Amino acid sequence: MNKNSLILISGYNKYIAYKTNLLFNYEPKKKLNIAMARAMLEYTKTILNKVSFDNTLFCKEVQKAVDRLLPYEIEEIKIYILSLVQQNPDLNQCLIYLKP
């Protein structure tokens, strides 16, 4: 396992979440884990909105978001960031942290 791996053990259920993909060994818990991931995405959007007044803070939070979110969530956050950039063009410099 590398440093980007996370192992959660809860009773007899073992979940392994890698940064690039998410594996579920126990199907009934899948909805719970997806809801938790969705909550992280919404939390990230809130933080990005709150720090959009400062370019430096915004860039740091974009970097954190790319490191912490799952690949499909990164695609969603890209759309959200582009909408914030349209409102505040100064944030355009932070787009370099989003891989094409």
Q: Which residue has the higher pLDDT, 22 or 77?
A: 77
Tell me the per-residue pLDDT of 25-71, one tens digit each, with 9 for 90 and over: 445 555 656 667 788 899 999 999 999 999 999 999 999 999 999 88
> What is the distance in angstroms between the CA of the first residue and the CA of the last residue of the chain?
27
What does the alpha-carbon distance between residue 91 and residue 12 come to, in Å, rounded to a whole number? 46
pLDDT at position 38:
81
Residue 2 has pLDDT above 50, yes or no: no
pLDDT at position 13:
40
Residues 84 and 91 sit within 8 Å (Cβ to Cβ) = yes
Pairing of strands 22-23, 6-10: unpaired
pLDDT at position 45:
95
Model confidence at 4, in pLDDT bands (50, 70, 90)?
Answer: very low
pLDDT at position 32:
58
